[in-house]
Each structure stands twice: as C-alpha cells, then as structure tokens.
Structure 1
Amino acid sequence: MSTRRTAGTVATVTDVPESMRCSVLRGAGELEVRERAVPSPAHGEVLVRISAVGTCGSDVHYYRHGRIGKYVVREPMVLGHEPAGRIVAVGEGVDPSRTGQRVSLEPGVPCRRCRWCHEGRYNLCPDIVFFATPPVDGAFAEYVAIADDFAHPVPDSVSDDAAALLEPLSVALWANAKAGTGLGSHVLVAGAGPIGLLVARVAQVRGATRVVISDPDAGRRRFAAGYGVGETVDPGATTLDREVDAFLDCSGAPPAVTAGIAAVRPGGSVTLVGMGADEMTLPVSAMQSREISLTGTFRYANTWPAAVALAASGEIELDRLVTSHVGLDDVGTALSPDPAQVKVVVTPGA
C-alpha cells in the first residue's frame, strides 16, 4: 500500500498503476483503445477499478451518430455509464476502510445546490456530471474516480455483472414510480429490450396483476417469455386491449407510442421511457377527452438502495439478461446492434 499525493489530495492506494487502457470514441463509428493516466480521487471521491460495464442504447447511439439531441461528441470521449467495480483508493475526507469494497456506480453526480437537488429530484439538476454524456468521460476504462456517496456498496451475493446492471434496473424503478404502477395494475410495456424487460419485472414486483410486453421481434418475445415478464404480443398481429392502467413505452418508436396510448383506459397513464424521435405526433384529442396523463422519464433519483435490495434478494435476476462479454478491444462489436443479444457487458480488465 502506498500514498499518492496530487494537488490538494491524499489518496490511500492499493496496487494502482500510473496508466490505464480505455476505449475512446473519436467520432461516429470510430473507436480506439488508448493509454491514459489513471485518475487520482479528489476530496470526497473514490477510485474504482472497473470490473464490468453494461452497454446501453445511448452508447450505441453515440457510437453510430456521434450525438443524442443537443449532446454532441466534439472531442474524443469514453463511453459507458453502467459500471461496477472495486474501490482501490480514496481521496481526502473518505473513510479509508472503503478500500477493497465492491460497488455499483451511480453515474450522475449532481451539483447538490440547485432547486432540484434540494427537492430530491437531482436527476433534473442542470449541472449534473453524468458519465458518457459529452464532454464527460464514461467507464469503458480500467479505472474511474467518482464521488464517494455515488459508489454504492453491493453484497457478495450480487455478481459484478448484476452490480453493473443496477443502473438499468434504476431506470425501470424510476419509470414505474412515474407511471404509478401498483397492486392490481394492468400494465402494457412496448419494447422487449433490457429496459423493457426490467420495467415489466419491476411492475410485477410492485404488484401488477397483468403485464403485457409488446415487441415485433420474435426472438425478443421468446426471451421475454422465458424471463417471466407475463404475456408477450406481436404488435403487428394483435389488437391491444383498451383497459390498460399504465402504458410504458421503452421502444421510442412512434407507432408503438400511438398504439399504446390507444390501449390506455380513461384516467390511465402514459410514460415515455425509450429514446426515440425528437418530435412525434400524438392523439391529443383522445388523450384530453379520456384524461390520460402523459409524462417522460429522465434517468432516476434515489433508486440504488431499492435496486441493490431487489438484486440481492433474487426477486429480479439481472445476470440472466447478460448474453455476452467483450473486452475493451471489442467495444465496437458490442455497440453494433444484434437482435440476438440482450445485454452485452464490457469487462475492461479482460
């Protein structure tokens, strides 16, 4: 063990090298593995050796297009915002006993000072520093530094893969909270990707008595059925029921949104979760006359304790979503859409 000193920082370090490998996005479709200096944890931060990082649709979007809406990749950037690992160093003000602790990283650190932070809605903080959102680097790297309280401890019963996937599970928890799913709910979910599957499972855990997941891909429907999410339907071959309490769109596809809204009962709710077109046409008259509530979701807030508990209890099996692993040299393969893959995990140390 040694002590590394940087400007204003004292960090307790265990076997930490000076440099690390990371996968860097240079522009749309251009990735390369580079050597960078290992970051030193500042005051109130920890340094984490990354063991697993889930790949997400936003990573795919940045890789393919170099942007998402107003967020544009203007200089080389590291992707990846679903990380887990082990604390190997701590900065000033952090309990040294945290060194060696396995953690899941909540990838967005807010300012803690604005109105939304004070209200507990820190996901809306305008100054949040969020992994893999230009110009902030993400976690397709061997090491990252992050605020101490955003590195959440996980028990040994939760695998490295599952610890990484607490991030998409948090998306699902937040979406269900916004949708108001609960005991006796009839829920429709569009999109049987990882987020849709977890949204459906969380709805079941919250007490929904009927959950239907819609996806045009037969392979994804088969996976969803095996994952135990309830009923699966092909939206192109089925007329959806019109008694849904809550519709959660995890596809971002305008036709799916339109069909889902039509299935919602009067007084029900529509929650937009998936990334889709910047603008789409909605049946406003029907929504108004049936008093349907419409909301979006943006990340999550205060979800990690529940996510850890659900994973540790086995109520939601995150490891079953992982269909393959790749190292840093093959991140491009992981970000090339393959319907046969559900969740690809990057293992930076492999």
Structure 2
Amino acid sequence: MRPETESELAEIVAGLREPVRVEGGGTRGVSGRDQVLSSAGLTGVTLYEPGALTLVARAGTPVAEIEAALEAEGQQLAFEPMDHRRLLGLSGTPTIGGVVAANISGPRRIQAGACRDFLLGVRFVDGQGQIIKNGGRVMKNVTGYDLVKLMAGSWGTLGVLSEVSLKVLPKPEASATLAVAVADATGAIRILSAALRSPFEITGAAYDPQEQRALLRIEGFADSVSYRVGRLQELLAEFGGADQIEGSADLWTAIRDTAVFHDLPGDVWRISVKPGDAPEIAARIEADQSLFDWGGGLIWALVPSGTDLRARLGGFSGHATLVRSNDETFARLGRFQPEQAGITALTKGIRQKFDPRGMFNPGLMG
C-alpha cells in the first residue's frame, strides 16, 4: 500500500482490518510479516523559506532531495541524520518521515541537538484514519499538547506521518578536525570531556579504538574556526598534543554511518550511556569492534551474532538497542531496551489512545 495523498492515506488506514508495518524508504531495518504501508508516495517540499530557516515537506520526500534544496541556499539539516543502508545491507531511499519517525541524529547532536529538537510541526494519520495536525512553523509555537516531540522516535507506532515542518540552519563556512592519539577508552573520554567543557563549541567528539585516536570537530566562520583550533590545541597539549586533519568531511560521514562495521559479520548494537560510564560499559561489552560518538555518550559495538548484550551488560544507566541482526535474534531479544513496568503502562496507554485497534507496527516497541 503506497498512498500518494494524505486523504488517500487516511482512507486506507480507516479501512484496515489487519495490522501493517509502517515504512518510509525501507532503509532502517524494520522487517516483519505484516503488509507494508509505505509513506514513500507522499513526496515534495511544500514550503521552503530560507530567510525564516523553515522547511515543510511531505513525509516520503527523499532526504537527498531536501539536502540538495538546502545546499542551494547554503543551509543544512543541523542534526546530520545517519544513513543506515551500508550498515544494514539495504537499498531504498531514506525519507524525511523515516528520519523523524526514528529520531535519527548524527555526530553534531552533542552541539546542535537531535532531530526532535528541530521539528516544528507534524501532520499524521492516527490508527482510526483521522488526520491530525500539531505544532507550527516557528520554534515558539507552544499551544496544545506537544505531539510533535511524541512522534519523533515513535517508529510509526502512534501514527503515519504525512508531513513534517523543520527548522534548518546555515551551513558552516569552515570546518576543522583535530586528532589526539590515545591508547584506551578511559584516556579518550578524558580528552573528549575536556574539549566539550571548553568554550570552543565542539560539533563532533568521537573515539575510534581501532585507530587509537580521539577526534574533535570545530565548525563556523573561517576566522573563528582558526582561532578556536589554536586554542584547543593549547588545551590538549597536556594529552600529548592534537594534529589537524585536512579534508575531514568524509571522516565524519564515516563516523555518522558507522563505516567501520560495514563489511564485517556480526550483530551491531547502539548503547546510550553517560559519557563518564563509557569506559566501564565498553569493558563489559567486550566488542569485536567499537566506535564512540557524542563524547562517549553513544557506543556502537559489533559482537558475535546472537549475543545477548543486555545480559552481558547487566544493570546500567542507559539503554541498548539492537540495530543489526537476524530475525531470530530480533524476535528473541527485541530491538529496544525493555521498559520498566511504570513506563510500559504509560506507553501502552499512549498507544491505546493513538492506535486503539493496534494497526501500526505491532510488537515493535513493546
């Protein structure tokens, strides 16, 4: 099912008799036996006001199309959404609705915020086929319930997005990356934390254990970047010094898309933790390969297929999401971290309100 208008989408949902798997471009790895309801036919940028830093697009609009429109005006999606295709071995076309539904955010999240922080408004169809609009086209629109934030990261379990409104930002004039040699996660977190506590506006803070280096990105006006690089190098002298890497755009794309795992077999997990806990958590993971992003707050880990990483981790402050595996392991372990009883009751209550018939992505999020 691939509606091409919002009204057609609403009509299809109202007539559903069996659950469906809601899908955008089919690039995020959600599979199942249910029939697919795709938003990929709802395409097109319906409003773009560069002066107001505002863009409105239908949910099935390819991310590449939006990025091209923004590039022409010297602007960008500040939250730097990850492209999962190589990691998951999938084809398809990433859509803006899929990005919003999964709250996909890349390395710049530590400074700019997540996708949900740039979401101004949404239009979606709920489980009874009703068209619902919430939010607006300006950041100060605060009337009514904040369904905008609720839809971001709901993975299509509350409704099918038909249109999203986003705040965009100017592209930085210049970018620079510093690399610091470091032997272990403990040392890397100390370096990343020192940089992030500084006033130099770090927009990327990662650690690559394979290359044994901490990576820091600074963006902005050229003179400002040059000044901040110099000051940051002074700050990092106590850690052995920092070297500037030329032409580092591809490096941050590789970090964003976890390129280190692309051609390796095994399960991939995404672990969200407090940065200070990252070294201890990494030791528990015992990963074949790993990558730290968000100053240590996000750990990507490659482990043997079928590994119950949550059992290996035990209790910790954070959550572990299974991103890449086979159907049997997904069925056994679940994609998302099990919720506490109180949160589960709240989640079920919300889903009952939005999708009382249980039509959308059953079993995906508890």
Provide the TM-score with structure 1 as the length reference.
0.28
Provide the TM-score with structure 2 as the length reference.
0.27
The structure in which a higher percent of residues are strand is 1
